Amino acid sequence: MDFEPYRGELVAYCYRMLGSLPDAEDLVQETMLRAWKARDRYDSTRASVRTWLYRIATNACLSTLEGRARRPLPSGLGAPSEDTGAPLTPAFDIPWLQPFPDARFDTGMRADMRLALVAAMQFLPPRQRAVLVLREVLEFSAAEVAEQLETTVPAVNSALQRARAALADTHDAGEVTEPDDPGVRAVIERYVQAFEAADVPALVRLLADEAVMEMPPVPLWYRGSRDYGLFMRRVFDLNGPGWAMRQLTANGQPALAAYVPESGGGHRLHTLQVFTVTAGRVTRNVVFADPRVFEAFDLPGQISGDEVRQPR
């Protein structure tokens, strides 16, 4: 019995539930181990292997989430800061939501992985979260989900209705376009050019009026193109021009790895930035500076001058 073909989609499912790639990978490994030990008890007349694996994974996720704090983004913790010169003090005691490296997993599903949507899902009770993903994303029937959760079909339908209502104001998944859309690529290319040149006015021209910038593990966040620009001026005043950017994707969204120039030559990995682009403007940039995030994306910590302009 081969479980490996299901690993990628199970990791994506557990990520949606937990908001952490390392935790998701650990739980999928646990799921595979449990399934292997119980393979002699598997009954193909009751459920497919895929449905059976999702039941094991769901139970593992729900057990893990018991008593655990949700994983937020800074914008989920309070009002935006109005001080673009505030100290950038990390809050490592908060279990921040982490991005998902698309290149490592062929999940075949993108829009439902948007950072804003996954962040909003963290506010749902765990069982509602499971029902929403199993029904809406993975398209299991209400009867299958009821069996997976050891509950009734009416209870599943009720949980789904409540989850939909709670997420009604989360618009990113429906409004943003895919990262390979020509218009999105053009916006990101212009953003790269402006960022590498430390050209703040050019960056601001690419922003929506109410653009959001947030920077986990720093709990601060900013709203509006003015404050976004003022903060970027602070960054460039501190680090200078001559940055290098590499394009990738995360959570089905365009992303950039930003490398800051070093005085002795070369560039050092500074941040991973995940963008939401809507109607030709950047509406959100989630900037990750946690080394554990860099590891998940297999990003080199340093690049030489020869690597700066290699094909992206």
How are beta strands 207-215 and 281-288 bridged, if at all?
Answer: parallel
pLDDT at position 151 = 95
Residues 111 and 258 in one domain: yes
Do the domain assignments include residue 148?
A: no
pTM: 0.91
With b meaning 16 or more CB within 10 Å and e meaning fewer, what string describes 276-306?
Answer: bbbeebbbbbbbbbbeebbebbebeeebeee
Residues 299 and 311 in one domain: yes
pLDDT at position 311 = 40
Query: Which of 37, 68, 99 is the endpoint of a domain?
Result: 68
Whether residue 31 is predicted with pLDDT greater than 70 in this model: the reply is: yes
Separation between Cα atoms, residue 125 and residue 65, nearest integer Å: 9
Do the domain assignments include residue 139?
A: no
Confidence band of 168 (pLDDT split at 50, 70, 90): confident
pLDDT at position 171 = 53
Chain-centroid distance of CA 251 in Å reads: 5
Find residue 287's DSSP bridge partners. 273
Residues 4 and 87 in one domain: no
Host domain of residue 268: 71-124+167-312
Q: What are phi and psi of 42, to 5 degrees?
A: -70, 135
Find residue 221's DSSP bridge partners. 214
Query: Which of 49, 68, 87 is the endpoint of a domain?
Result: 68
Mean pLDDT over all residues of the chain?
Answer: 91
DSSP 82-118: S-TTS-----TTS------BGGG---S--GGG-HHHH
DSSP 218-245: EEEEEESHHHHHHHHHHHHHHH-S--EE
With b meaning 16 or more CB within 10 Å and e meaning fewer, what string describes 42-59?
Answer: eeeeebebebbbbbbbbb
Q: How many domains does the chain have?
A: 2
Residues 4 and 64 in one domain: yes
Q: Residues of the chain with pLDDT > 70: what percent?
A: 94
pLDDT at position 173 = 46
Q: In this structure, what token pair is assigned to residue 193? A: 């050019």
> For 38-92, what is each residue's pLDDT tens digit?
999 998 888 899 999 999 999 999 999 998 889 999 999 999 999 999 999 999 9
Separation between Cα atoms, residue 34 and residue 27, nearest integer Å: 10
Place of tokens 């009604």: 168
Contacts of 247 by beta carbon, 8 Å cutoff, 6+ apart: 188, 192, 254, 255, 256, 312
Residues 173 and 82 in one domain: yes
Any idea what the CATH number is for the domain that residue 52 is in? Answer: 1.10.1740.10
Confidence band of 308 (pLDDT split at 50, 70, 90): low
